Structure 1
Amino acid sequence: MRSGVAIVVAAVAMLVAAPAVGADPPEPVPTAQSVFNKPGPHPVATPVRTNPCQESIWGMAEHIVVHLFGNRDDMTCTQAFPNGLESPIGVNTYYPADLAELPAAPLVVFTGGIIANPGMYDALARQWASNGFVVVIPFDFFNSLAYVPAIGVAAAVIANRDPKSPLYNKIDLSRTIFGGHSGGGQASLQAGTLFPGVAAAIDPAMRVRGVLAIEPGPLAVGALVSVPTLFLTGYNDWVVPDFAWVRWWQYNLTFQAPAWIANARGVSHFSPVDGLDNYLSAGTALAWLRYQAFGDDVAKDYFVGPNWRLPADKTYFSVERNALAGALN
């Protein structure tokens, strides 16, 4: 009798605990990619024109390499040599097409990877410009040292002072952020070392707000960087492994400024030149830019506070921040 009663009680308990038939499944926790990886409210203006990279012999070789590393989308390139016959040195510029109606916009100086064509970052630049940034992509083919972002800064300052430029008095140099991928990530860290101390001498309004270092090369030391820095790495990246220098002497030695590092599942070294849906840290990159430049509260929640959201983001295999970042509120 007792065993029969126990069986009945257990069955009732199971029925009570079981989800109702047809009940909606729990909502997935939103990731930075799902929240931020989308176009912003502004149309984009740029003189940059791109074409499929594989239209040139050099571009075809690059196309094959990135697809061997797992990229899914075809890259875009400009005609900068060796992908075409235009100058291998220059600056590509993107900005909100309605900038004349907006307050002055923050500046992102983004340097691509070594031997990368600047057009490979066209999608990222357009996304950032549509979110209210002026974006300059300086390039010289090697894209690995601080003089390359310096070229971008010079171009932005000149455009901001030129009455004939659509960017005249429309770049807020007090909200300048350096970013870069691979060799360009290394160059952005070098810029984050050199420019904060001399920014006012370049332009009285200029201030460096931070660095976005995507899978950076080894020629930069975190101990020398004095502005907030986000390191984005990839779990499938064997060119810049998360466990190598990007931690040893970059993130781990960043003690002068807040720093974060996020290692994304399914991301290889060439994912940043893939389509934005297939570069799984594209949303996090934009969130960090919006947090630093606009103080966006939704973006800030992913990086700041005791319940910061990035560690719960299933995109990432691991996420860390240093003590200075942990002390922010």
Structure 2
Amino acid sequence: MSIRARLRTATAVALTAAAIWVPAGTAAAEDISPGATAQSLFNTIGPHPVATAVRTNPCQESLFGMVQHVVVHLLGNRDDMTCTQAFPNGLESPIGVNTYYPADIADLTAAPLLVFTPGINSNPGMYDALARQWVSHGFVVTIPYDYVNSLVHVPALGMAAALLADRDPNSPLHNKIDLSRTVFGGHSAGGQAALQAGTLFPRVAAAIDPELRVAGVLAIEPGPLAVGSLIGVPTLFLTGYNDFVVPDFAWVRWWQYNLTFAAPAWIANARGVSHFSPVDGLDAYLSAGTAVAYLRYLVFDDEAAKQFFTGPNWLLPHDKTYFSVHRNAQADAL
């Protein structure tokens, strides 16, 4: 074989390998076209199948769920919510942890952990679609709940469940959770609990497990009981222009984002998003793609996702999904 032919063959192999390593459904950094949105690029199902013992049903199958169903539809949700049998939507315990993980996790070295806390009075099954999307992109996801879902003990419960599974030789997650890439997330009261976890856990991580490190926080329309000045890890605040429960101009900006001085922080206010949009369908929740992009940037250093959050020409401010986007000085320096 001639040198030129060998070079052509080597180039083809390299390009094929590169294509294999680009996650399904997401763009390579060089493929981002002007005007592309995080929703169009990252609101996708990733390459990993999902494994979970969680079973859901339409929320309106219970009396309490019917009330929730009517309320969210009156407030603009498009799709029907799903619920588990956790009380008061059923007769199972109102306290627990739902766990989702890549079905092919045995083939992975380890997967990052996302502990996601629901909103107050929410059923954990309402976040089933989001959890499955995050798992398909390579995360282990725990959804801890106690119905109130407002304080740091709830994400602590989700963390404890993940630690036990990682240490259990009979669990498919044994030695498969990368605790050094742990993210706390949550919606509404659960977002407030995630911010509390982002305040507490970095300070006590070494005492819990020498491998544990908090990579960041994803706070979706969070409640008021958290203060930005206490947070020391990267944090993305996602708000909604149509949200009258957690308005973008209220505490989420006053004493959460505006007071986050010790770590990079971003805040993005999405047009057409209400307080209950995160429990709508993935296409109806217009920040679903941004959440995936942030998580991929945070723990995988995904080059395409990174362009939405870092650098002098970062893309999120130009994303037409958002009415306003800001980042603090620490994020500017990245």
Settle same-fold status: TM greater than 0.5.
yes
1:197 aligned onto 2:199: no
Cα shift at 1:82: 0.3
CA distance in 2, matches of 1:286, 1:251: 20
List per-residue Cα deviations over 1:20-76 (Å, max 9, x = no partner).
xxxxxxx77110000000100010000000000000000000001111110000000
Cα shift at 1:172: 0.1
Give the TM-score normalised by the residue count of structure 1: 0.91
Residue matched to 1:174: 180
List per-residue Cα deviations over 1:190-247 (Å, max 9, x = no partner).
0000000101111110000000000000000000000000000000000000000000
CA distance in 1, matches of 2:205, 2:71: 38
Amino acid at match of 1:88: P
1:298 aligned onto 2:284: no
Alignment of 1:210-249 (within 5 A): 210-249=216-255
Cα shift at 1:313: 0.2
Residue matched to 1:322: 328
Amino acid at match of 1:140: D
1:52 aligned onto 2:58: yes
CA distance in 2, matches of 1:228, 1:29: 26
4+ long deviations beyond 4 Å: none
Q: Percent identity?
A: 79
Residue matched to 1:278: 284
RMSD: 0.7
Amino acid at match of 2:325: V
Residue matched to 1:116: 122
Cα shift at 1:111: 0.1
CA distance in 1, matches of 2:301, 2:145: 29
Q: What secondary structure sits across from 1:92 in the alignment?
A: strand
Larger of the two Rg values belongs to structure: 1
Amino acid at match of 2:218: L
1:162 aligned onto 2:168: yes
List per-residue Cα deviations over 1:111-131 (Å, max 9, x = no partner).
000010000000000000000
Alignment of 1:33-52 (within 5 A): 33-52=39-58
Amino acid at match of 1:74: D
Cα shift at 1:134: 0.2
CA distance in 1, matches of 2:295, 2:253: 21
CA distance in 1, matches of 2:236, 2:75: 24
Amino acid at match of 1:268: S
1:83 aligned onto 2:92: no
List per-residue Cα deviations over 1:83-128 (Å, max 9, x = no partner).
0000100000001000000110000000000010000000000000
Amino acid at match of 2:333: A
1:251 aligned onto 2:257: yes
Residue matched to 1:16: none
Amino acid at match of 2:190: G
Q: What secondary structure sits across from 2:149 in the alignment?
A: coil
CA distance in 1, matches of 2:138, 2:37: 22
CA distance in 2, matches of 1:128, 1:291: 13
Q: What secondary structure sits across from 2:326 in the alignment?
A: strand
CA distance in 1, matches of 2:75, 2:312: 37
Residue matched to 1:188: 194
Give the TM-score normalised by the residue count of structure 2: 0.90
Aligned length: 302
